[in-house]
Amino acid sequence: MADQDTTTDDLTPERSRPGSEPQLKPQVLSFDEVAAQAHTAAQLDLSRGSVLEVDNLKMYFPVKAGGLIRRKVGDVQAVDGVSFQVPRGGSLGLVGESGCGKSTTGRLITRLYQPTGGKILFEGRDLADLSNKQLKPLRRDIQMIFQDPYTSLNPRHTVGSIIGAPLEVHKVVPKNQILPRVQELLEIVGLNPEHYNRYPNEFSGGQRQRIGIARALTLNPKLLVADEPVSALDVSIQAQVINLLQDIQKEFDVAFLFIAHDLAVVRHFCPEVAVMYLGKIVEIGDRDSIYSNAHHPYTQALLSAVPDVKQAAIGGRRERIRLEGDVPSPINPPSGCRFRTRCPIAQEICAKHEPPLLQIGKRHKVACHFPGPIHQHPDKPITARLLGTDDAGSPDPGATPSSQIANKPGYDDTWYDLDAKTFGRA
Amino acid sequence: MTIHNMPSSSTGNGDPDAFLVVEDLNVEFPTPDGPVQAVQDLSYRVGLGQTLGIVGESGSGKSVSSMAVLGLHDAQRSTITGSIKIGGQEVVGLNEPGLRKLRGNAVSMIFQDALAALHPFYRIGAQLGEAYQVHHSSASKRDARRKSIEMLDRVGIPQPDKRVDDFPHQFSGGMRQRAMIAMGLINDPSLLIADEPTTALDVTVQAQILDLLQDLQREFNSAVIIITHDLGVIAEMADDVLVMYAGRAVEYGPCKEILVAPEMPYTWGLLSSIPDVMADTDARLIPIPGNPPSLLSPPSGCSFHPRCVHVDKVPGALCATTLPELLPGGRGPHHLKRCHLANPAEIFRTEVLAEIAPKMVEEN
């Protein structure tokens, strides 16, 4: 494991009392050595198919009235018809503002929630309706890394029993072989294997997150759901953990569903990204399509809001698309397009019809009536004909809705060409 | 050194008429395990209408030093030496009534976690009004309420006359942060300290809050200290930047200088360990190895040397034995750095930039 050396002085938990243990001599590396162990941005490998396919997934949480008879008064539509694929051994990023349903999606895939509708196809098998008993053997293949390393580790258990617990639960190895496996895992994540009998409070935040990662790796999962794995960590530690996750991905061929609100981190880690808004995917595509060629006004606004270090060379603030107000309540989302209340280019049709997630490039789908590069959005909705309406969104008797706008995971070989305004290969 | 699009150009650190002058500040806390030197030999200046960005990891002393400016450390449990002058008035050693006159009036603070900083039992309006009445003893409750509504309106809360009677939990995260800013600005402070004001917020809300802070600064011409670990926020907001590590300033100068031509390996490490939304994908994400040191037993010499990957370029064991002074480097008197490296510009360009921004090096 290449990562061990970079964290040699990581082995001494900084929170332990001074003098209570021998200080390990920190081994200082040269810049070249550290740089050689660091990773560049992950690349997309299309040849290996997908490990996970999510089809029209829905999660509605009931809202109950106060008082004695708690009758159901509505639903929080936390996730509403989300479809995507996670490539085998690859990673898909899920970004969006808080409350957009990205964490709920992660928890649905690990089946911490029972979905209201839709399919979760893991290696071809639908997880959505399985009972807990049927799920148990499958849980080995899908594991989760949590956001907060301070609350996700039991303070009363030693690191060894935290990491070893999955082995015991799933009875993978005999009891006397648990410890060697735990020590192996500690080494993989760059911690000292001798520290298996310590408690989480003896470790720093970055080290605790490594423990959480080791626990997730215990059963050799095929898919890891990482819910904001670095956002609770200091900047300098974030890069260590991201590099560790990239090492693990390469070595163990794990696929990642990487949930984060930090667009820059997601861009580095994930060759493919889905942008969510109020429970729906508004744009999904490969890295270039999203970050250099976004066609949805929300993605464009989100990207323009990220503060940029390079701005220092110019001074002042970057020009940005200002989004006014807050995200509307998912209990009573706006009709039609859910983004229309804050959208700078919304028109009449947006209130009447929900835009379909339309494929507009080889690996690029967007859910907008007026998709286009920034400041070049079309004047007329390109989706009107496909939906069988006129430009204002009223039903048009002469047009029939197209069958090619189904909400399904993955990408087709043919797509809607924005210039020619027809379906076809580019 | 001029910075474009700024209301006032940066004056670096030589401004004699600065509103806030901190000199040789030391803050020490006694603990059962021995004294912790949380801040050591810290000096900086902020003029009216200017923004100072303080960057550093958790535990680097950035919040402790700013809390000292407000006199928020318990005199019984901390030892503060040095000098902090706010508009000419010395704060170190000032008695509690004197400090109380300053707090929330000439100096105010915006905290990171707005939900924790606002009282859950009192209405937003009551909390804002209290801040106003404390410093305007002649103001009636009605005046305070009118002022609260005016401030809520000023920070962009819709229907302020209705929302003023809401409780904090009825506000969204961004609105709470706005309410905090409104509370901080209700007495037109000349110095505003924003401690991680946007860390808990989404990027879109962060952009709104930063826009708001900048507009308000322009309007009130106040001095602003913004504490953050997000270099992007620093790049867009600050005139001057102070990089802190283990309680000390390690690099200090105008924003453009520090972020474009940094001369201290810790600053390089910070720059190389954050990915960029626009960077080319060949760029590596290079972490700073190890963890921040414990301030109970700080490393000898330069506190960064155990994590520094450029120690081998300094002759002998200088880094481990001698603490470098905070002195001007090769880029003029405004750019101070605490490092022994003789040719930092050369190393930064040929080694660090080559890995973190390969295209930039080719272009040059």
pLDDT in tens, A83-103: 999 999 999 999 988 888 999
Return d(Cα A263, Cα A266) in angstroms, integer.
Answer: 5
pLDDT of residue B293: 87
Q: Tell me which residues of chain A, numbers 10 to 49, contact chain B at a CB-CB cutoff of 8 Å.
A: 10, 14, 17-18, 26, 28-35, 38-41, 43
The answer to whether the Cβ–Cβ distance between A35 and B286 falls below 8 Å is yes
Return d(Cα B103, Cα B68) in angstroms, integer.
Answer: 12
Contacts of A312 in chain B (CB under 8 A): 234-235, 255-256, 258-260
Return d(Cα A235, Cα A105) in angstroms, integer.
Answer: 26
- Identify the DSSP state of A108: H
- Identify the DSSP state of B102: H
Range with the poorest average pLDDT among A313-322, B128-137, B338-347: A313-322
Contact present, B26 and B80 (Cβ < 8 Å): yes
Beta bridge partners of A60: A77
Q: Tell me which residues of chain A, numbers 301 to 330, contact chain B at a CB-CB cutoff of 8 Å.
A: 301-318, 320, 322-323, 325-326
Which helix (DSSP H) or strand (DSSP E) does residue A62 occupy?
strand A50-64
pLDDT of residue B363: 53
Q: Which of B4, B204, B205 sits opposite A314 (nearest CB)?
A: B4
CA atoms within 13 A on the CB side of A387: 24
DSSP B169-198: GGS-HHHHHHHHHHHHHTT--SEEEEESTT
pLDDT of residue A74: 85
Which helix (DSSP H) or strand (DSSP E) does residue B116 occupy?
helix B114-117
Q: Give chain B's mean pLDDT.
A: 86
pLDDT of residue A366: 94
Return d(Cα B274, Cα A262) in angstroms, integer.
Answer: 11
Q: Tell me which residues of chain B, numbers 345 to 364, contact chain A at a CB-CB cutoff of 8 Å.
A: 351-352, 355
Q: Which of A98, A265, A310 sits opposite B275 (nearest CB)?
A: A265
pLDDT of residue A223: 95
Q: Tell me which residues of chain B, numbers 29 to 58, contact chain A at a CB-CB cutoff of 8 Å.
A: 33-34, 57-58
- The backbone torsions φ and ψ at residue A415, rounded to the nearest 5 degrees and listed phi first, read -145, 170
Q: Tell me which residues of chain B, numbers 118 to 177, contact chain A at a CB-CB cutoff of 8 Å.
A: 158, 172-175
Q: Tell me which residues of chain B, numbers 217 to 246, contact chain A at a CB-CB cutoff of 8 Å.
A: 229-237
Q: Which of B33, B270, B311 sits opposite A236 (nearest CB)?
A: B270
Contacts of A26 in chain B (CB under 8 A): 290, 306-307
The residue to which tokens 């799933």 are assigned:
A170
Contacts of B32 in chain A (CB under 8 A): none
Q: Could you report the per-residue pLDDT of B289-337, keeping only the tens digit for each?
A: 888 888 888 899 999 999 998 888 888 888 999 999 999 988 888 999 9
Lookup: tokens for A35: 């740089």
Q: Could you report the per-residue pLDDT of B224-259, keeping only the tens digit for each?
A: 999 988 888 999 899 999 999 999 999 999 998 899
Contact present, A115 and A101 (Cβ < 8 Å): no
Contacts 24+ apart (CB under 8 A), A179-188: A181/A218, A182/A214, A185/A214, A185/A217, A185/A218, A186/A159, A186/A214, A187/A1, A187/A4, A188/A1, A188/A214, A188/A217, A188/A248, A188/A251
Terminal Cα-to-Cα distance of chain A (whole angstroms): 43
The answer to whether the Cβ–Cβ distance between A97 and B202 falls below 8 Å is yes
Contacts of B174 in chain A (CB under 8 A): 326
Which ipTM value was assigned to this complex? 0.82
pTM for the model stands at: 0.86
The answer to whether the Cβ–Cβ distance between B292 and A234 falls below 8 Å is yes
Q: Which of B5, B34, B203 sits opposite A263 (nearest CB)?
A: B203
Q: Chain A residue closest to B283 (CA)?
A: A40
Sign of the C-alpha dihedral computed for residues A199, A204, A205 and A211 taken in this order = negative
Q: Which of B173, B174, B286 sits opposite A34 (nearest CB)?
A: B286
Contacts of B285 in chain A (CB under 8 A): 38-40, 239, 242-243, 268
Contacts of A24 in chain B (CB under 8 A): none
Q: Are strands B240-245 and B248-254 parallel, antiparallel or unpaired?
A: antiparallel
Lookup: tokens for A331: 């209990």
Low-confidence residues in chain A, pLDDT < 50: 1-26
Residue A262's nearest CA partner among A230, A237, A309 is: A230
pLDDT of residue B361: 59
Per-residue confidence at B173, pLDDT binned at 50, 70, 90?
A: confident
> Which whole number is the average pLDDT over B59-70?
89
Contact present, B301 and B323 (Cβ < 8 Å): yes
Per-residue confidence at B8, pLDDT binned at 50, 70, 90?
A: very low
Sign of the C-alpha dihedral computed for residues B57, B269, A215 and A113 taken in this order = positive
Q: Tell me which residues of chain A, numbers 222 to 261, contact chain B at a CB-CB cutoff of 8 Å.
A: 234-240, 242-243, 261
Q: Is B308 on the interface with A (CB under 8 A)?
A: yes
Residue A276's nearest CA partner among A361, A333, A224, A338 is: A338
Which helix (DSSP H) or strand (DSSP E) does residue B37 occupy?
strand B34-46
Residue B355's nearest CA partner among B298, B297, B285 is: B285
Per-residue confidence at B51, pLDDT binned at 50, 70, 90?
A: very high
Contact present, A304 and A253 (Cβ < 8 Å): no
The residue to which tokens 């105010």 are assigned:
B108
CA distances from A131 to A104, A114, A137 (A): 19, 10, 11
Residue A103's nearest CA partner among A9, A226, A188, A216 is: A226
How close A168 comes to chain B (CA, Å)?
Answer: 32
Q: Are strands B20-31 and B34-46 parallel, antiparallel or unpaired?
A: antiparallel
